Structure 1
Amino acid sequence: MTSTRFRDNARYWRTPLLPGADLLTAEYHDHEFTPHWHDAYTIPVIEAGAETYRYQGSHYVAEAGSVPVINPGEVHTGSRAIDEGWRYRVLYAPVDFIHALAEDVAGRAQALPWFDADVIRDPDLAVRLARAHRLLESNDDPLAAETAMLDALSTLLVRYGRTRADIPPPTAADTRVATMKEQLTGDLAAPLKLVELADAVGLSPFHAARLFTRATGLPPHAWRNQIRLQRSLAPLRAGALVADVAAASGFTDQSHFTRHFRRMFGVPPGRWQSS
């Protein structure tokens, strides 16, 4: 019996039932996500096939029926784990929404929810998340869709939400990394040399690059490109021309922007915008 090979096909969309969230319905075979992060909680449910990804220093495989949650701001990758590829549904849930829901469920103030790195293998949760995602996508019954969404996300929080470990006081290295981030995000369209970044924190270019990469999981140029891509979403959503967004974001041209955008989001910016 021949297995079905998935094709690279993705659709991003939004719903007024969850303002600020992006949702994705996709299948992939050849596409590989380069190291990147999202500002939201990434909550996928694998419907078929299997995905492999690197996250928090380890490799994981998420097969059909699993829920590989990624915390906001955490660098990760993504590619097929088996020859067929994988199909999944993803909810990129805003941090403030998940935090407010956690407090609503608990009935009191809560720390920001955090999830362990391990793949969640909970068939009941997977069914709830997939059903909510389908109802939100069809938009046939908003009442049923919103109820299913709150049920699925509250179940995720109750069963697997954790409190992030106490963050130690900032060190000199942390301060230097923060200073370099400020330099990198100050004017995204302005050229910046590694020696300028290093001079700002009193280190050699070699040591500055090594410190930054160790702290963030990405070298300075790659981290800056991620910021550029994240900030490009708002003007794209507002209807700005892709070429104008590329120039304003600091990419050399539209093709350069498109190439990086597709590596992170799985679709070119024009297609993301139209969906």
Structure 2
Amino acid sequence: MTVPPSPIQPFRNAPQYWRSSLVPGGDMLTAEYNDHAFAPHWHDAYTFACIVEGAERYAYRGGEHVADAGSVAVIHPGEVHTGARETDFGWRYRVFYLPVGFVQGVQHQVTHASGGLTMPGGAQPWFGEHVIRDTEAAQRLTAAHRLLQTGADPLLAESVLIEAVSIMLVRYAQARAPAMPPLRDTVRVETMKARLSDDLTESLSLTALAEAVDLSPFHAARLFSRETGLAPHAWRNQLRLVRALPALRAGASATDVAVAQGFNDLSHFTRYFRRAFGVSPGKWRAGPRS
């Protein structure tokens, strides 16, 4: 892979989150980054990241990937990943965070229109683990992103968006292989996740978490980190962030959201939020709508 020439001037750290009424519950990001590095995190939506200039390196599902200009990086809901520059100049991209229901809805339309891939029992479409290099798909997604951001004719904007997502689904979506029966360690990790997420405002020790799965604190922490990619405390804080988004999207104050999700204070909430999303919760909440 050849990374295209860098621009004359390095990119800035300049993210802008925004929303559109045509994608209920979704978020979009128009950004350029120079030296910002995203901490390991996940989203509860499909991430379609269209690289416009420069290149981004990210860790995902046990591998290191580089998305360069004209490519699309797809991150599946709930999958831990990172993000940082691949070149000295950074990268510029346009990102969709599309709700699972939205993508499944488009998949349903595609299936009925063309007799394409049918996902079993509400399964989520799977796009694989590698960077997608498809000029037409990237251009269609980028065009849809621009139309939504500028508040263009909704009939046009929605048509282009549906067409772009359809192209991605028809060309790259597949059904994941059926899951194997859960192993004992898998059951333990799921039990710990349930315990961590039960009450996010509860003060919970590693010892108490380990007792729920009959392991020592050391072995519980090592097992959890190995299986999820995050330490128990980091996973819980990421869940707090994900659960904070609907309230922020609805206009709640960052201070109220921080307290409701169990963060010690606003500064604690802001620090974790910025590492995961690149902006403060207040700026994320204030993103323009179209």
1:157-193 alpha-carbon deviations (Å, 9 max, x no partner): 0111111111111122122111111110111111111
**AA in 2 matched with 1:79:** A
Question: What secondary structure is seen at the aligned counterpart in 2 of 1:35?
Answer: strand
Kept in 1: contact 2:273–2:280 (CA 8 A): yes
- 1:37-56 matches, within 5 Å, as 37-56=42-61
The reply to whether residue 20 of structure 1 matches residue 25 of structure 2 is yes
Residue 139 (structure 1) shift: 1.1
C-alpha offsets along residues 214-234 of structure 1, whole Å, 9 cap, x if unaligned? 111111000000000011112
Quote the Cα distance in structure 1 between the aligned partners of 2:266 and 2:21: 30
1:227 corresponds to: 239
Q: For 1:3-44, what per-residue CA distance to the aligned partner results, in whole angstroms no more than 9, with x for missing partners?
A: 221101111111111111111111111211000011111001
Tell me the percent identity: 56
Aligned residue number for residue 3 of structure 2: none
Q: Partner letter of residue 169 of structure 1?
A: P
Letter in 2 for 1:104: Q
Aligned partners of 2:7 and 2:89 also within 8 Å: no
CA deviation after TM superposition for structure 1 residue 2, in Å? 6.7
Which structure 2 residues correspond to residues 87-166 of structure 1 after superposition, within 5 A? 87-107=92-112, 109-111=118-120, 112-166=124-178
Measure, in 2, the Cα distance between the counterparts of 1:183 and 1:102. Answer: 34
Give the structure-1-normalised TM-score.
0.97
Query: Which 5+ residue runs of structure 1 have no aligned equivalent?
Result: none
Larger RCO (alpha carbons 8 Å, 6+ apart): 2
CA deviation digits over 1:60-112, x for unaligned, max 9? 11110000111111110001100110000001111111112112211264242
Cα root mean square deviation, aligned: 1.3
- Please state if 1:83 is matched with 2:88: yes
Distance across 1 between alignment mates of 2:109 and 2:246: 29
Residue identity opposite 1:52 in structure 2: R
Distance 1:45 1:27 in 2: 12
- Corresponding residue for residue 185 of structure 1: 197
- Structure 2: where are the runs of 5+ without partners? 1-5
Equivalent residue, structure 1, for 2:72: 67
The yes-or-no answer on 1:265 pairing with 2:277 is yes
Aligned equivalents of 1:39, 1:235: Cα separation in 2: 15
1:237 positional shift: 2.1
C-alpha separation between the residues in 1 aligned to 2:25 and 2:255? 24
Distance 1:2 1:170, change over 3 A: closer
